Structures are given as structure tokens and as C-alpha cells.
Chains A and B, each alone.
Chain A
Amino acid sequence: MRSKVLGLAAIALLIFAPTFLPVYAMTLLTELVILALFAMSLDLMVGYTKLVSFGHAGAYGLGAYVCGLITLNSTIPLPFAVGLTAIIVCIVAVAIAWSCTMATGVSFAMLTLAFGQLGYAVAIKWVSVTGGSDGLSGISKRIGPFGWAFLTTKAGFYLFALGCLLGAYFLCRALIRAPFGQVLRGIRENEMKVIALGYNTRRYKIAVVALAYMFAGIAGALYASFAGFANPEMLFWTVSGQVLIMVIVGGKGTLIGPMLGAVFFIMVEHKLSEITETWGLFMGIIFIAFVMFAPDGIMGILKKRIFNKEVTTTTFQTLEVPANPGQVK
């Protein structure tokens, strides 16, 4: 109950943010919303299915390039361009997921890393399409369909990005609570058991990777329109590492946690870079500390301290019980 009220208050606050926040804060907030979507998409894999990806920046960068190319070469309005990007990224992701899920565990993680780096190499080498190491620039925010000019304003674009984030969140939440999510959690806890129960786990894994990549692609598409450029750096493996930090520090397997992780990451980056040039070093140390001592992240700490709830990410959900949406927290 308490968490529901808190959630609604947060959503209301975010929707009305443009009315009271100064312009420079809106830029930061838009960036945060986009990164939150990026981090949340990875949580589907890392948190719910225990598929660690070191190549998530590949999906993010792919989305940025595809959306950039669509916008530069056509007059398709922004929401449709983002939708088209999502479909394209999703198709590419199925092929990548098909290859990566041939391996399990750590090998899977390293294969995603290899594919991410492959994307980075393609972005640099395929100069005629991607613009090489300069990337694409001059990507403009498009006026929406039916002449919705408000999408080109700062507040309008922010609300559009926020809409994408909220839509993605509620969709993911519904999926997680559906039988589909039960199977994913089953894979996380004990894949052999799920196979023994007659599920084709590889199909589920491909589906969740495609879904996660799609949302990451949408985040990339939003970022490209927001910043006006797409460059190879967006696909580099350090970006994959950063988003993984957001998920782990925020609290994996909670959807909300990774969003908080994104906020935490950006705040720490801003605060630390004011006092020291080496914020990356401290970020690394903070990350190690979280993995060692607080594997459930900020969300785990919050749940324990504020809501007095036991953390549910690691409890075993038996699959024999028919999926009951109300049961899962």
C-alpha cells in the first residue's frame, strides 16, 4: 500500500516536473529518464532471467543509429521513427539472442560482449552509412504526427521520453507477473528444473533478450533525438559496463531499482567529478562494495529499512504452483 502511494506520487511529480524545474534541470532529467529506461531493460535479463549481458550498449547504440538514419533520411515523425527503430532492433536482437543462447552462464555474458564489440567495430568501419568515428550528427527532434509541435520543445520531448519509460515499465511489470515472468524466474533459479517441466527455456531466453534489447534500442533512439547525434562511443563496452553498474547498484530483479541505480550513477558522477577527476575509480570501488556486501542493491536496502520487507529477488518461486499474478511481489 505504502509503496503504491509512493509510486503514484513519484509519477505525478515526474509528470509535472516541467512546470517547476528550471531549463537546465530538465535536460538532466530527460537524460535520467532515458538512462532509467536503458537500465530497466537490462534488468529483464540480469535480474529476472540471470542472463548477464556485457553487450547491452550494442542495442542502445543500434537504436541510436537506426533512429538517426531514419530521421536524417525521411520525414517520419518522431514517435513513428522510435517505433520503427524498436521493431528493427527487436529483429536484430532475435538473431543475436539465437546465437548467444547457444551458450549458458558466463559464456553467454562473454558472447554478448563479443557482439557488442562487433557492433562497435561495424559502427567505426562502415563509414558510408554510420559516418565512421565521427558518427551521425544533426539529428533533429521531429514534429510529431498531426503537427504536434510540442515534441520539439524541451518539456514536450521530456514528456514523450517519460511516456516511453512509464509504458515500458508497466508492460514489463505485467509481463513479469504473467506466466511468462514465472518461467523467466524459474530459469533464474534452476533452469534444469524448468526444462524438466517441459518448457523450451531457450525460446523464453531469446524472447526476453529480444524484449530487453528492444527497450534498450528505444532508449538509444530517444538519446539520439535528444542529443542530436549518435557516435560509436555509445556502443563501446564501457557503456555496457556502466548500465550493468546501474542495475546491480540499484538492485537487480526489481525494475524500479535499476532506475534508482541510473539516478544514483548520474548523481555520483556529477558530484564526484566536481571534486575529483577520477570519479571512475570511486565508481569502481562503490560497485565492488555493492557486489560484495549489498548484492540486492539500493532497492534491497530500501526494502529492508523502509518497508520492513524481506527482499524477494532471491527467494525461490516454485513453478509447480499455477501462476498467480497477485502472489508475486
Chain B
Amino acid sequence: METFSFILIQLLNALSQASLLFFLGSGLALIFGIMRVVNFSHGALYMLGAYIGYTVARLTGSVWLAMLIAPLLVGLLGLLFEMGFLRHLYKRDEDAFLLVTFGLTLVLAELTRLTWGAPPLQVLLPTGLTDVVFILDEPMPVYRLFLIAAGTISSLLIWQFLERTRLGLLIRATSQNAQMVHALGADINLIRSGVFALGCGLAALGGVLAAPSLTASLGMSSAVIDAFVIVIIGGMGSFLGAILGSLIVACVQTFGNFFFPDFALVFLYALMLGVLIIRPGGLLGKEV
């Protein structure tokens, strides 16, 4: 019985971690799917989300409001950056994109340090979710269960949005053949800007959600590596792949950290290399 409850608790921990990773990875996957480029600043936007969330929560006293405002602000920032810079780079090769978003990462990291200072900031748990429940006599914070619910609901909503709505159809079509969609009369630039903003907003939401359990810190911008591992494992540009990737990465991280704390990272990279050898395009991706 003890091992069962242990596995259950660790599984729930892994699922709550997977939710956070999902917000990070799915945005990256969506942006990659539609633009064929990697947004290096994804980790920085995730970090920015956490910091903006911290400020909103302090000013208004409500973490719930922070979960709404931070993604909107960061999404707006992404929109402006796409329209001001990235849009002019589609004709250049993909490396230019990587480099410009890397530049944005530097700028954002520095601006964040200037605005909020270097020490990590503690974000409080949202009201109503501060309790701890006991599952099979093991303590489990309600906030983690909330994260699982948030991740599940969001992933279902976005998946259905992509599959069932006309806009979702256009997004999927653009990721397959942008020129054809353009020829059929849809505004490609608008779709690209919108998806980029959506991806940035998702990353920021992940940041806000992660902040109460992890604190908001400058190191969060390294999360772009986690996001990328998810996308490589799941499949470049595949939304369902991002969900699968987050689940796998979260399980490896949670169980790896518990059993072999010093080697968890090595396991993760070994897994990523294994996937690359067997399926270069990722588990649910197309062959590249």
C-alpha cells in the first residue's frame, strides 16, 4: 500500500509539472508549426510572465487577476515584436530569426533585472488554493491539483480550437502550406502575428502559474531549453506532440529527481537523443 500511495503522489506531482511544461512547450510548438522558426525568447517571456504576475498580484492583491493580465501583456509584447521585427525576417534564413529572438532574450533579461532586481521574488498562492489535502495519508497541496486541472482544461480547449474552429483550420493550413493559404485569400501576416502572440501569452501564463511554487527568478529564462526538449521529443510543430512531450519530460524529471537526483538531467538528454535517433522528427512529428 505504501508503494502505491508513493507512486500515486509522485504521479500527481509529475502531472502538475507537466501542466507547467505544457504551457511552455505548446507555445513554442505552435510558433514553430506556423513559422518554421524557434523562438529563443520563449524562456524570457515565461520569466516575464512570472514577474508581471508578481507585480499585478501585489498591486491588486489577486493572483487570479495576475493570471489574466500577465498573459495579455506579454501576448501584446509578442505581437508588437512580431510586427516590428520578425515580420521582416521571413525572407531571410531561419538563423536570423533565432538570433533576433536571442537578442530579445538579452534585452528582456536585462530589463527584468533593472525593474525587479536580481533576488528571486516570492509569489503567494492564489486565495482558495492554499490548503493541503491528504491523499492516501500523503500531503498534497491543492495548488498542484489546480495546476493539473488548468493544464488539462487548457490543452483540451486549445486542441478543440485548432480542430473545430475555422481559425484553427486556417492555423493548421498555414503550418502546412502558407503560400497556398495566402493564395486562397487569408491574411497570413495576421495569422502569424496572432499565433506568435498566443504562444507568448501561453508562456507567460505558464510563468504566472509556476511562480508560486518556484518563485520568480531571472534563471527562469533558461526554461527555453526545457521547452525545446519537449518539442524535440514530441515533434516539431505538433501540438499533441507538445502535450505528450510535456508528460514524458515531467515524468523523467520528477522520478529522476527522486531516485537519481544527480543524473536526472543526463536521463533527459539521453531520452532526447534516443528519440532523435529513432524518430528524427519527434514522436508525433513529421520526418524532417
Chain A, residues 133-154, CB within 8 Å of chain B (1/0): the string is 0000000000000000000000
Query: Which residues of B have CB within 8 Å of A281?
Result: 106-107, 110-111, 114
Given contacts A121-B265, A278-B114, contact A285 B107 (CB under 8 A): yes
Chain A binder among B125-133, B150-158, B269-277: B269-277
Grouping DSSP codes into helix (H, G, I), strand (E, B) and loop, the A interface class, with mixed when no group exceeds half, is helix
Q: CA of A295 to CA of B236 in the docked complex: distance in angstroms?
A: 27
Q: Which residues of B contact A104 (CB under 8 A)?
A: 288
Q: Which residue of B lies closest to A109 (CB)?
A: B98
Specify the chain B residue showing the minimal Cβ separation from A121: B265
Q: Mark A261-292, 1 if CB is under 8 A from B, else 0.
A: 00000000000000000101101110110011
User: Which one of B99, B262, B266 has the greatest number of beta carbons of chain A within 10 Å?
Assistant: B99
> What is the bound-complex CA distance between A319 and B98, given in angstroms?
28
Instruction: Assess the A103–B110 pair: CB atoms within 8 A.
Output: no
Stretch at the interface among A65-73, A83-91, A111-119, A202-210: A111-119
Whether the Cβ atoms of A118 and B269 lie closer than 8 Å is yes
In the complex, whether A312 has a CB less than 8 A from a CB of chain B is: no
Given known A-B contacts A107-B236, A110-B232, A283 and B106 have beta carbons under 8 A apart: yes
Q: Which range holds the interface residue count of chain B?
A: 35 or more
Closest chain-A Cβ to B221's Cβ sits at a distance in Å of 9
Would you list which residues of chain B between 219 and 236 have a CB under 8 Å from chain A?
222, 225, 228-229, 232, 236
Answer whether residue A105 sits at the interface, using C-beta atoms and an 8 A cutoff: yes
Cβ of B117 within 8 Å of any chain A Cβ, yes or no, is no
In contact, B107 and A291 (Cβ under 8 angstroms)? no
Give the chain B neighbours of A165 by CB distance below 8 A: none
Contact code string A228-241 (vs B, CB < 8 Å = 1, else 0): 00000000010001
Question: Which 7 pairs between the two chains have the least Cβ-Cβ distance?
Answer: A284-B106, A288-B103, A284-B107, A281-B110, A110-B228, A280-B110, A287-B103
Q: Residues on A close to B: CB < 8 A? A: 50, 52, 54, 99, 102-107, 109-111, 113-115, 117-118, 121, 125, 237, 241, 244, 248, 278, 280-281, 283-285, 287-288, 291-292, 295
Residues of chain B whose beta carbon lies under 8 Å from any beta carbon of chain A:
37-38, 85, 88-89, 92-96, 98-100, 102-107, 109-111, 114, 222, 225, 228-229, 232, 236, 262, 265-266, 269, 272-273, 276-277, 280, 288
A-B contact pairs, 15 of them (CB 8 A): A105-B94, A106-B37, A107-B232, A110-B38, A114-B272, A117-B222, A121-B265, A241-B106, A244-B99, A278-B114, A281-B106, A281-B114, A283-B106, A284-B105, A287-B103
